[in-house]
């Protein structure tokens, strides 16, 4: 193995590449070569470093300096300052708050532990940090039922939004004998403001594979699919590369590590419909049909893909599994809260100083996330609300800033954790405008299968437009609430049921915003 004095990790996630990460990387390599530093300084690609709106970011180790907004024209001064003169190029250095060395959350990250630290395109890097040990352990030392039990004991809950216990889901499928079973990884990340799964896959694709392998073994599936949004080109490429490498190393295929277990993993790409994140619609889509949810029961665990038992899990859920197998259920239970053990990856957007993502223990408050990992509010702005959980989420007011966020606690407040997207809104924003875009989104994404969602969203959209145009009276608000309530009670799937939360929370807490539209027009009309 070759040793280097320094390593430059350049993030080449989708967003960075669009902002010129590859050009910066090439320039760096040339510049280093020009100074004969190419044998001393290693340039590597890695996943996201966790910063957003900071252009191309690079990390330099072991110096632990992170530069942001790096452009091609900065490269020559960066090389000469940092690597020749040995001092950081200060104006590009990203100042980090409190825990200065941890951009991606706290120091005991699980699913993002390797992101930004290893080359996601190199299986040896993953193996070097203990990768695939859990797979080996599960395969050679554990019985499927032990794996299911361990995951059950760990209390791992689905991170796709609903928070259903993963071990219990597996336990429905695991005992079914004599039929082809499947594991499907739901990587159709479509919730607005959510990109956690993308960064897990871009930064550490092997971790997802390892989790998938263990899940497949646990439920007895010899075929697994990763259903991924078609737009996630880089994820697809990196996952495919990772799958190829795993086959090459004998970690996939027939009779893996001479255990007698066979497993194939294949990537399926989605075509961009939000509804295909719903597990049965996802399965329909995989079968080549129109992506619309199926009637349940039967649940996919009993009759899923091709009418065979199928376990569908979210990317983040599965990425937790290797660590649980390695370190045990008790270790996992010690992280987070009693009802929701483990960590959660949040994406922080909107009016915060440093938008990005972080992985923190369950139970972390909204205030901590905004202040610590989001760098506080944007200069000169004040917190009004946060839309937590994506479009299907809830508007939280400042009274909720200190609530410990996990599946259980939020439910107490009739709120949800959802996908973990946190959209921070400052006090100059009218919530009605926010709500309009939420409804517009659902109106656009409704698959049209059931009446309440199909026509209810249309009517809600009409109502909110009417309010904004000033043609509505206060009775319009009651109408909206009635419709959203019926949609929640009668819609076929979670899509149509989701509207009640944003509509009701907006109306409950920010009624003045609605009235301002209603009264403004009235005033003009007078």
Partner 1 sequence: MNIVINGTVCYASPGETVLSAAKNNDIYIPSLCYHNKTGPLGRCRVCMVYVEGMNGLQSSCNLPVREGMIITTDTNEVKAHQRLVVDLLLSSGKHDCLSCEQNGNCELQDVAYYLEIERPSFNLSPPSIDIDETSEMVFVDRSKCIQCGRCIEGCNNTVVNEVITFAQRGFETKIEFDNNIEMGKSTCVQCGECVQLCPVGALIDKNAISKGRPWELEKVTTICPYCGVGCQLELHINRKINKIIRITGVEKAPANNGMLCIKGRYGFDFVGNKDRLTTPLIRNSEGKFENSTWDEAITFVAKKFKNIITEHGNEAIAGLASAKVTNEDNYAFQKLIRREIGNNNVDHCARLCHSSTVAGLAASFGSGAMTNDIKDINKAGVILVTGSDTTAAHPVISARIKKAVRDGKSKVIVIDPKEIALADYAEIYAAQRPGSDVAVINCLMQLIIKNGWEDKDYIQSRTENFEDLKKEVMKDKYSPENVETLSGVPAAKLHKIAELFAKAKTGSVFYSMGITQHTTGTDNVKSIANLQMLCGNLGKPGGGVNPLRGQSNVQGACDMGCLPNVYPAYQKVTDPKSKSKFENFWSKSLSDKIGLTITEITDSIIKGTIKGLYIMGENPFISDPDQYHTIESLEKTEFLVVQDIFMTETAELADVVLPASTYAEKTGHFTNTERRVQRLNPALKAPGQAKDDWEIIQLIANKMGSDWNYQTIRDITTEINAVAPSYAGITWDRVGKEGLQWPCPTVDHPGTPYLHKDQFTRGLGLFHAIEFKEPAELPNDEYPLIMTTGRVLEQFHTGTMSRKSQGLNNIAKPMVMISVVDAEKMSISNSEKVKVITRRGEIETNAFVTKRIQQGVIYIPFHYAEAPANRLTINAVDPTAKIPEYKVCAAKISKIIS
**From 242, 276, 410, 483, residue interacting with partner 1 (rule: CB under 8 A):** 483
C-alpha 58/C-alpha 66 separation (Å) is: 6
Residue 338 makes contact with partner 1 by CB under 8 A: no
Query: How far, in Å, are 48, 115, 318, 421 from residue 313 at the CA level?
Result: 23, 21, 7, 18
Residue 492 makes contact with partner 1 by CB under 8 A: yes
Residue span binding partner 1 (CB under 8 A) among the ranges 109-117, 228-236, 256-264, 443-451 = 443-451
C-alpha 361/C-alpha 145 separation (Å) is: 28
With 0-12 CB in 10 A as exposed, 13-18 as middle and 19+ as buried, what is 399? Answer: exposed
Residue appearing with tokens 């998938």: 212
Q: Tell me whether residue 367 or residue 408 sits nearer to partner 1 (CB atom).
A: 408
Residue 295 makes contact with partner 1 by CB under 8 A: yes
Residue 473 makes contact with partner 1 by CB under 8 A: no
Residue 488 makes contact with partner 1 by CB under 8 A: yes
Rounded to 5°, angle at Cα 264 from 258 and 265: 135
3-class secondary structure per residue, 16-30:
HHHCCHHHHHHHHHH
Residue 443 makes contact with partner 1 by CB under 8 A: yes
Q: Tell me the closest approach of the beta carbon of residue 310 to partner 1, in angstroms.
A: 17
The number of residues that bind partner 1 (CB under 8 A) is 30
Q: Tell me the closest approach of the beta carbon of residue 178 to partner 1, in angstroms.
A: 17
Q: How many CA atoms lie within 13 A of 393 on its CB side?
A: 28
Say what angle helices 451-469 and 431-445 make with each other, to 10 degrees. 150
With 0-12 CB in 10 A as exposed, 13-18 as middle and 19+ as buried, what is 66? Answer: buried
| Contact pattern for partner 1 over residues 55 through 74, marking x by CB under 8 A | --------------------
Q: Tell me the closest approach of the beta carbon of residue 143 to partner 1, in angstroms.
A: 33
Residue 486 makes contact with partner 1 by CB under 8 A: yes
E-assigned strand segments in 158-289 = 182-187, 223-229, 264-270
Residue span binding partner 1 (CB under 8 A) among the ranges 102-110, 228-236, 409-417, 438-446 = 438-446
Residue 459 makes contact with partner 1 by CB under 8 A: yes
What residues from 233 to 292 belong to the interface with partner 1 (CB under 8 A)? Answer: 273, 275, 290
Q: Tell me the closest approach of the beta carbon of residue 1 to partner 1, in angstroms.
A: 53
Q: Tell me whether residue 143 or residue 444 sits nearer to partner 1 (CB atom).
A: 444
Judged by the rule CB under 8 A, the positions of this chain that interact with partner 1 are 273, 275, 290, 295, 297, 443-452, 454-459, 462, 482-483, 486, 488-492
């Amino acid at each position: 193995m070759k040793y280097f004095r320094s390593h430059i990790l350049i993030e080449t996630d989708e967003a960075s590449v669009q902002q010129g990460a590859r050009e910066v990387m090439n320039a760096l390599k040339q510049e280093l070569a020009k100074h004969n530093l190419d044998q001393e300084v290693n340039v590597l690609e890695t996943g996201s470093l966790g910063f957003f709106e900071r252009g191309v970011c690079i990390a330099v180790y072991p110096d632990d300096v992170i530069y942001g907004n790096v452009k091609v024209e900065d490269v020559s001064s960066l090389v000469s300052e940092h690597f020749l003169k040995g001092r950081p190029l200060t104006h590009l250095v990203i100042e980090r708050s409190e825990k200065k060395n941890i951009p991606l959350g706290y120091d005991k990250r699980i699913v993002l532990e390797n992101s930004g630290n290893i080359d996601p395109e190199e299986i040896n890097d993953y193996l070097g940090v203990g990768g695939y040990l859990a797979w080996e352990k599960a395969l050679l030392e554990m019985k499927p039922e032990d794996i299911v039990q361990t995951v059950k004991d760990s209390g791992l809950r689905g991170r796709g939004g609903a928070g259903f216990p993963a071990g219990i889901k597996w336990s429905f499928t695991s005992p079914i004998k004599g039929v082809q079973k499947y594991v499907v990884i739901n990587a159709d990340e479509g919730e607005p403001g959510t990109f956690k799964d993308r960064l897990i896959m871009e930064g550490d694709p092997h971790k997802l594979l390892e989790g998938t392998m263990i899940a497949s073994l646990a439920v007895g599936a010899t075929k697994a699919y990763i259903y991924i949004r078609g737009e996630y080109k880089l994820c697809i490429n990196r996952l495919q590369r990772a799958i190829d490498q795993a086959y090459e190393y004998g970690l996939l295929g027939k009779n893996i590590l001479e255990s007698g277990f066979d497993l194939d993993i294949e990537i399926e790409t989605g075509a961009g419909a939000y509804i295909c994140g719903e597990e049965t619609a996802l399965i329909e889509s995989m079968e080549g049909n129109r992506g619309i949810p199926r009637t349940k029961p039967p649940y996919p665990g009993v009759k899923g893909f091709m009418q065979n038992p199928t376990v569908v899990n979210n990317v983040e859920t599965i990425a937790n599994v290797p660590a649980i197998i390695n370190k045990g259920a008790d270790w996992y239970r010690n992280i987070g809260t009693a009802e929701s053990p483990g960590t959660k990856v949040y994406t922080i957007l909107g009016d915060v100083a440093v938008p990005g993502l972080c992985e923190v223990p369950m139970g972390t408050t909204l205030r901590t996330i905004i202040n610590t990992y989001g760098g506080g509010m944007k200069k000169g702005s004040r917190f009004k609300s946060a839309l937590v959980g994506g479009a299907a989420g809830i508007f939280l007011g400042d009274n909720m800033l200190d609530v410990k966020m996990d599946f259980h606690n939020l439910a107490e407040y009739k709120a949800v954790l959802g996908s973990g997207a946190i959209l921070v809104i400052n006090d100059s924003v009218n919530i009605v405008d926010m709500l309009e875009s939420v409804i517009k989104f659902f109106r656009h994404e409704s698959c049209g299968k059931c009446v309440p969602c199909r026509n209810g969203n249309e009517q809600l959209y009409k109502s909110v437009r009417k309010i904004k145009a000033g043609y509505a009276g206060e009775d319009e608000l009651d109408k909206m609430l009635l419709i959203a309530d019926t949609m929640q009670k009668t819609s076929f799937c979670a899509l149509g049921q989701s509207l009640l939360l944003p509509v009701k929370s907006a109306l409950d807490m920010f009624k003045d915003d609605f009235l301002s539209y209603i009264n403004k027009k009235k005033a003009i009309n007078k």
